[in-house]
Amino acid sequence: MPVSVTMPRLGESVTEGTVTRWLKQEGERVEADEPLLEVSTDKVDTEIPSPAAGVLTRIVVGEDETADVGSELAVIAGDGEDAGEAAPAPAQQEEAEPEPEPAALDTPSTEKPVEEEASAPQTAAPSGGSAEGTAVKMPALGESVTEGTVTRWLKQVGETIEVDEPLLEVSTDKVDTEIPSPVAGTVLEIKVAEDETADVGAELAIIGTPGSAPAAETKPEPKPEPKAEPKPEPKQEAPAQPAPQPRIESAPAPQLAPAAEAKPATPAPSQPAAPAAETVKSNGAGDAGYVTPLVRKLAAEKGVDLSSLAGTGVGGRIRKQDVLDAAEKAAAAKAAAAAPAPAATPAAAPAKAAPAKAEPSPLRGRTEKLTRIRATIARRMVESLQVSAQLTTVVEVDVTKIANLRNKAKADFQAKHGVKLTFLPFFALATVEALQQHPVVNSSIDVEAGTVTYHGSEHLGIAVDAPKGLVVPVIKEAGDLNLAGLSKRIADLADRTRNNKIGPDEIGGGTFTLTNTGSRGALFDTPIINQPQVGILGLGAVVKRPVIVNDPELGEIIAPRSMVYLALSYDHRIVDGADAARFLGTLKERLEGGHFEADLGL
């Protein structure tokens, strides 16, 4: 029996998800638990595995479309039943007259063709069209999409095709996709040529039942009135012309000549086809490397050389995501190449300054759609400022003792625990201890219910600068972990978040958040609270500078110290300024005391 792929629940409060990318296309085989598609929610981007092995026979929700949790995304047919479910049912029931209507009800793709076939005998010979022709129509490719452009015909008039085998490629303003054949048979007529646009529901082609190739001659004759331009004569000449690349030159050749009547000369049909073939060759590896107009435009905007890409689409087709990935890699490579430039010899510095300035960001001068995660961040940050009374208190902390302990222990610590010893776990441990002493900062408020909840556990959120945007994974029960445990959890969560491997349940449920803005050199900032929490602590950069200190023997002296600013943003609806000051005072005392020798084995 076919297996339905449904939108899973990707978090406690998640009710819907957006399909960002299909990793398999209709007609392709997929194994059980093999990644099938990528889904984005308000909390996480993740891959959805296939629930069963078989053939992806139907994609219900296209890329960039949103679906509710539990709704159907696709259908997978099991071994041996992919053809039986999609093809023979309509074919057999069309041949057996007693049961054609149930087949139309069971198979939506053949319902409308049955109606058309019923009317065909009235205008054509009874033997010519009622049971042999099935219309292929432009499908709905998105909620607001009303039309699509045919970018490439994968089959030509007279060629045979199997059920669910890709028939043509269609491009819209939202997605590039392949349209599979609804039935097995022969291509009798192509009604919309390459690079032409058709409305959703419009007929694109006519497919005849297996062995009905001769009908291609009788089928077009009864219908010369509505479609006089694409006469069958040029259609049948097309397969004979394209010796080097049949699928690229054959379709444009017959259609472009009548479309552009300004070129009536005989060389005209062949001239449009040649540039099309050159475009394909310049954009990839011949037939398999064909790219749609949208992908070509995106590659030009991002400065990506399509000939250097290996496509991940069906048959090696270069997809939008391939271009985006290549652009990201190129930007990272340029950043890495530019990093060592200042370290070169002083004499070479002036000469290398010009190339560095001549490499502007590929984002300059561009307008693009907000990603789902960026739109979510924007909405939540504004909502946070609107629903709570936020202000920030900053203290300065001397972490020289921690810096000295870290220098002594970091080599052995990494060898023993497998992670680097940074300043962050020291701040995390001190924060958890301070939250236990000041539960008002580890609380949440419900104004409508008139209640405040003082949480019994410390679920510590750690803001991570991921490639797709800011993500805050949560260390659950952080109060039960020591310094080494926190170091491992922070490193693990940060790594999996940046590599899009974080689970949706690891994103929510935080009671307090740390954000390490000092990792990029910032002294301090005023972070925005992650609702429904009431506090977030911003960690500034640890900077060594001269400070006046009180020496027991020498009195006040100036000495180099490792200093850091800690900025606490809090919700004044429940946390008073005195509460914030007490919390920061406890945190400052713990960090400046620097008593972490036991945690480090010193």
Annotated catalytic sites, by residue?
572, 576
Question: Other CB atoms closer than 10 Å to residue 301's CB: what's the count?
Answer: 15
Instruction: Give the pair of three-digit tokens for residue 10.
Output: 């990707």
In terms of Cβ atoms closer than 10 Å to its own Cβ (0-12, 13-18, 19+), residue 289 is: buried
Q: Quick check: 489 and 481 in contact, CB under 8 A?
A: yes
Q: Residue 111: what residue type?
A: E
Cα–Cα distance between 114 and 95 in angstroms, integer? 12
591-598 long-range contacts, Cβ below 8 Å, gap at least 24? Answer: 591/397, 591/399, 591/402, 591/426, 591/427, 591/430, 592/397, 592/398, 592/399, 592/401, 593/401, 594/399, 594/400, 594/401, 594/402, 594/404, 594/405, 596/402, 596/405, 596/426, 596/429, 596/483, 597/405
Select from 535, 476, 470, 463 the least CA-distant residue to 509. Answer: 476
Backbone angles phi, psi at 79, to 5 degrees: -55, 130
Residue 98 structure tokens: 């007693």
The sign of the torsion formed by the CA atoms of 414, 415, 417, 418 equals positive
| Sign of the four-CA dihedral 200, 203, 206, 209 | positive
Residue 549 phi/psi, 5-degree rounding, is -120, 160
Task: Please say whether the beta carbons of 569 and 529 come within 8 A.
Answer: yes
Give residue 425's identity as a one-letter amino acid code: P
Distances from the Cα of 14 to the Cα of 68, 511, 535, 552, angstroms: 9, 18, 23, 58
Continuous segment of H or E residues that includes residue 311: none
Instruction: Kindly report the length of the chain.
Output: 602
Q: 19: how many CB neighbours lie within 10 A of its CB?
A: 23
SS3 sequence of 68-112: ECCCEEEEEECCCCHHHHHCHHHHHHHHCCCCHHHHHHHCHHHHH
